[in-house]
């Protein structure tokens, strides 16, 4: 991988993805061997939005590599409340850290921040934009279960505002994957994502219901339909129930269907799915640590190592 920053999944080629996943696999196979591979690493965690899994797995990844993290803390306790710009905030923190991880509520925030820093910067979610490190762990999970070619993947839920969806769709376009997008009309993929998929020559179909396509799927990637996005509660109620799955729903799917979710879930996957052979969402979250270890190592290698 020859990038200074990871801003968007669209910047990742097939070989980039495979290189990260291969390294992540080596790390996962022998976690202890990497315990001190990056002694002295200081990773700056800049989270302008709440996060549990992404923040903690980057924290764990840095520490498992022998490094440490510094954390700007909540927005409320930072200089952001004094009106400091994002550009200034990251320019200051890059002086304290060897690499930065940024989550921000605005689309394009990571791109902007990367224009102002020299240390590697990873986009850990920018509004409804992109979440490329999540995508790498999603792909790692899919590869473990199904491989990454000759696949049929269904992505269901909030496709309009779902940053994990936007990143995953872009990355899957590198592989022989037929992508099926299932959502209410009001939450279809944004024009920009559809444009990129078209330009990439991806095989794409859009649906408003899961049932007609479920039996074709190797992977079903479920995201939360975000109630807060709907202007009217009744509009939300009209569609939300259509996009909930339980063990009975999955009976119409293939026996080897893999069900994933970036988490947190609310009610779109019933608890009875957890006990089926389909559920992979907790393993998916656990995969975040070796994948982010690999990502950090490779970005730092590109950058000539840590100071």
Partner 1 sequence: MSDHQLRVSKIRNGTVIDHIAAGQALNVLAILGIDGSEGYGLSIAMNVSSGRLGRKDILKIEDRELSQSEVDVLSLIAPEATINIVRDFEVIEKNRVERPDRVSGLLSCPNHNCITNADEPVETAFEVISDGVRCNYCGTIIHEDIADHLAVE
In the annotated binding site for L-aspartate, the residues are 82, 163, 224
Tokens of 58: 């980057």
| Beta carbon of residue 58, minimum distance to partner 1 (angstroms, whole number) | 21
Q: Is 218 in the site for partner 1 (CB under 8 A)?
A: no
Three-state secondary structure string covering 132-197 = HHHHHHHHHHHHHHHCCCCEEEEEECCCCCCHHHHHHHHHHCCCCEEEEEECCHHHCCCHHHHHHH
Active site residue 131: yes
Q: How far is the CB of 125 from partner 1 (least distance, A)?
A: 13
Q: How far is CA 256 from the centre of its chain?
A: 23
Output the smallest distance, CB 192 to partner 1, in A. 4
Q: Is 286 in the active site?
A: no
Closest distance to partner 1 from the beta carbon of 180 (Å): 22
Cα 295-304-1 angle, rounded to 5 deg:
40
- The verdict on 129 binding partner 1 (CB under 8 A) reads yes
Binding mask 195-214 for partner 1 (x = CB under 8 A): x-------------------
State the minimum distance, in angstroms, from the CB of residue 262 to partner 1: 20
Backbone angles phi, psi at 178, to 5 degrees: -90, 120
Distance of CA 230 to the CA centre of its chain: 23
| Residue given tokens 């799917």 in the structure block | 253
Secondary structure class of 239 (helix, strand, coil): helix
Cβ neighbourhood burial of 283 (10 Å; 0-12, 13-18, 19+): middle
Q: Indicate the angle between helix axes 288-302 and 132-146, nearest 10 degrees.
A: 120
Name the one range near partner 1 by CB under 8 A: 54-62, 121-129, 216-224, 297-305. Answer: 121-129
Pick out the residues of the known binding site for carbamoyl phosphate.
Answer: 53-54, 103, 131, 134, 263-264
Nearer to partner 1, 11 or 208 (CB): 11
Binding residues for partner 1 restricted to 135-194, rule: CB under 8 A: 190-192
Among 11, 60, 127, 246, interactor with partner 1 by CB under 8 A: 127
- Answer yes or no: 254 catalytic: no
Cα angle 46-291-53, degrees, rounded to a multiple of 5: 50
The correct pick among 16, 59, 94, 126 for binding partner 1 (CB under 8 A) is 126
Of the listed 53, 194, 254, 303, which one is catalytic? 53
Nearer to partner 1, 109 or 219 (CB): 109
Regarding 11 and contact with partner 1 (CB under 8 A), the answer is no
In the block, tokens 């269901």 appear at 156
Tokens for 68?
């440490």
What residues make contact with partner 1 under the rule CB under 8 A?
8, 83, 85-87, 104-109, 111-112, 115, 126-129, 190-192, 195
Please give the positions annotated as active site: 53-54, 82, 103, 131
């Amino acid at each position: 991988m020859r990038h200074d920053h990871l801003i968007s999944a669209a910047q990742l080629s097939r070989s980039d993805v495979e290189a990260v996943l291969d390294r992540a696999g080596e790390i996962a196979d022998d976690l202890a061997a990497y315990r001190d591979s990056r002694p002295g690493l200081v990773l700056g965690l800049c989270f302008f939005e709440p996060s549990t899994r992404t923040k903690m797995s980057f924290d764990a990844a840095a520490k498992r590599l022998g490094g440490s993290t510094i954390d700007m803390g909540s927005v409320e306790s930072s200089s952001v409340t004094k009106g400091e710009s994002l550009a200034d905030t990251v320019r200051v923190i890059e002086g304290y850290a060897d690499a930065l991880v940024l989550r921000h509520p605005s689309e394009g925030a990571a791109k902007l921040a990367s224009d102002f820093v020299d240390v590697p910067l990873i986009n850990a979610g920018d509004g409804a934009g992109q979440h490329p490190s999540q995508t790498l762990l999603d792909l790692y999970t899919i590869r473990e279960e199904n491989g990454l070619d000759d696949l049929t993947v269904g992505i269901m839920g909030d496709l309009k505002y779902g940053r994990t969806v936007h990143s995953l769709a872009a990355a899957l376009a590198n592989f022989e994957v037929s992508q099926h997008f299932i959502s209410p009309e009001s939450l279809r993929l944004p024009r920009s994502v559809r444009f990129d998929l078209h330009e990439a020559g991806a095989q794409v179909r859009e649906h408003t219901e899961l049932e007609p396509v479920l039996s074709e799927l190797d992977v079903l990637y479920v995201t939360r339909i975000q109630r807060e996005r709907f202007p009217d509660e009744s509009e939300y109620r009209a569609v939300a129930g259509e996009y909930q799955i339980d063990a009975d729903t999955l009976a119409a799917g293939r026996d080897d269907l893999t069900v994933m979710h970036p988490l947190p879930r609310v009610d779109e996957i019933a608890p009875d799915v957890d006990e089926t052979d389909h559920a992979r969402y907790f393993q998916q979250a656990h995969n975040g640590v070796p994948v982010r270890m690999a990502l950090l190592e490779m970005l730092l290698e590109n950058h000539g190592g840590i100071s």
